[in-house]
Amino acid sequence: MISHDRRRLRLWLVLVVLGLASGIAAAQTRSGGSDALIAWATVWGDTNRNGTYTCEEWKRYATKLFNDADKNHDGYVDAQEFKTIQQADSMLRNSDLGYFDDNRDGRLSRHEFVDKPNPFFVRYDRKGTCKVTLDDIADMTAAEARKKR
């Protein structure tokens, strides 16, 4: 019974954080705050609404962004096409093509863009499973709150 109540409290806390984050995502996107990462995950992840964000969901979303930007269908996104990605996703609006361009050839391959580690997973996937649950987010949020005290 206690663990059920604890889980319910965690879920409530996560929902509050998600609700607040979605309301202030635009402001926090500029500051790079962790709540902006949570709000961003609601854009591309948990597509089946099971409370888990996966690398597979991220890669599907990133692949769609890439495909939509690759206007000439050559399998690469150049600097001009990259603007489509920046316009399509507010979290990537201020991103730089050079960050993704691992081989520094001035264009992105699908692999360079889609397989680049997502900051959401870098921050919240402490187990390295390519899955982040609402409990994982709540644990990280609670740990950060304890550090601030």
Which has more pLDDT, 145 or 101?
101
- Nearest partner of 20 among 3, 5, 44, 42, judged by Cα: 42
Under the banding of pLDDT at 50, 70 and 90, the label for residue 24 is very low
Q: Which position has the token pair 């201020």? A: 94
* CA-to-CA dists, residue 47 to 1, 91, 122, angstroms: 30, 18, 20
Note the pTM of the prediction, 2 decimals.
0.74
* Neighbouring residues of 100: CB distance < 8 A, sequence distance ≥ 6: 108, 112, 113, 116
Residue spans of alpha helices (H) in the chain: 2-31, 34-44, 55-69, 79-88, 97-100, 110-114, 119-124, 134-148
Element (H, E) at 54: strand 52-54
pLDDT in tens, 25-46: 333 333 344 579 999 999 999 9
Residue 64 clears pLDDT 70, i.e. is over it: yes
Work out the number of other CB atoms within 10 angstroms of the CB of residue 87.
11
Mean pLDDT of 59-81: 98
Mean pLDDT of 13-22: 43
